[in-house]
Amino acid sequence: MHVRKFFKFVYHTINAVTFGGASMTEAELIIDRLYSLMRERNLTVNRLATLANITPSSLSSLIYRKSVPRVDMLHALCSALGITVHDFFDFPPYNEVEK
């Protein structure tokens, strides 16, 4: 189920959704979620990349929308953050997209 959400994100990053009166793409929602989780854990891009065993440039490319995360990258980021992929996608703005 949540892998399906991930693939939906990958293929629909250019589709805009409305949340709180502002138009946001799914990619922006995902990146905002990643930033939020990083802030909660006081993690920098370099530190999260190290914990996830990915290069800082790969993570930066994701954050600056130059690339789309692969399933293994998303799994590594979630593991480094101490959450599941399900937990990653379980936040109100994204859940409202699904309704």
Note the pTM of the prediction, 2 decimals: 0.69
Q: What is the pLDDT of residue 92?
A: 76
DSSP three-state, residue 87: helix
Look at residue 84 and tell me whether its pLDDT is greater than 80.
yes
pLDDT in tens, 70-80: 788 889 999 99
Q: Domain total for the chain?
A: 1
**CATH code of 54's domain:** 1.10.260.40
Q: Are 22 and 56 in contact (CB under 8 A)?
A: no
Please give the residue range of the domain that contains residue 66. Answer: 2-98
**Six token digits for residue 67:** 């690339």
